[in-house]
Amino acid sequence: MTLAPPRRRAPSKLAIAIALVVVTAHVLAWRATDISPSTLVSGWRGMADFLASSLPPDLSVLGAGLDAAVVTLYMGLLGTTLSIPSALALALLSSRATTPGSVTAQAARSVLSFLRSVPDVVFALIFVTAVGLGPFAGVLALVCHNTGVMGKLWAESMDESDRGPRDALRVAGASRAQVAVNAVLPTVLPSLAGLLLYRLDVNVRSSLVLGLVGAGGIGFLINQSIKLFRFDEMVTHILVVLVLVVAVDQLSSFVRRRLGV
């Protein structure tokens, strides 16, 4: 006895509507952003002139680039670690696992949303006016923005923790602080560590951009080279950035594998 092939279900009206919305959004985005492949093709000469002026790299600035790269790494490191206390406190206050349905939780979520919605570049511009040009402004900017992002990620990780230990402690009369310390944090600690390493990787990259607005590091040297039309120096600094990013990425991956996250 032969089985009849299964009948294909026709797409639902909702699926068709979603597809139309997505296609329409892409058409509008294509027009709004002035995408023109022909313009890119016709501009090959400008790209060729740029590459010709960039190569070979000027290795005489390699020492300065390496020193600035170390500063950039320090900015990313401090911007990540100094935000841990505030991010953890706001995550505990905003998580449904530790502070369910309270005004405090709503206020903490609002603070995280604000810190997350303001770009780190904007924070850097604000702090440059307060503390002047240099890496200190970049560190402060990363601390503020990273608190919002990491606090949100940590709160979501806590929300997904096992309810069993939490409910058992609540039934036994434990306080919210005791539930957080003895039931929530131990179960999500590997996840929090993995997210922390991920944010370290992101913050090192972000500190490069912050240098373009005067926050120091190798991003500042790249910006200087562009303004002086020393594209051969710029390429040298970019190569240093490439080595730095790959090194941080490999180190982060190694630590995550050892932690099993």
Domains annotated for the chain, with CATH where assigned, are 62-259 (1.10.3720.10)
Q: What is the mean pLDDT of residues 37-55?
A: 78
Instruction: Please say if the pLDDT value at position 33 is more than 90.
Output: no
Residue 9 backbone phi and psi in degrees, to 5: -80, 135
User: Is 1 a residue whose pLDDT tops 70?
Assistant: no
Is 10 or 107 the better-scoring residue by pLDDT?
107
What pLDDT sits at residue 178?
67
Q: What percent of the chain has pLDDT over 90?
A: 10
pLDDT tens per residue across span 226-247: 888 888 888 888 888 888 888 8
Sequence-ordered strand ranges (E) for the chain: none
**C-alpha to C-alpha distances, 82 to 52, 76, 87, 146, 151, nearest whole angstrom:** 43, 10, 9, 9, 13
- Count CB-CB contacts under 10 A for residue 78: 19
Residue 83 to residue 257: CA distance in whole angstroms: 24
Please give the DSSP secondary-structure letter assigned to residue 184.
I
Query: One-letter amino acid identity for 125?
Result: L
pLDDT given at position 176: 67
230 exposed, middle or buried (CB, 10 Å; 0-12, 13-18, 19+)? middle
pLDDT for position 231: 82
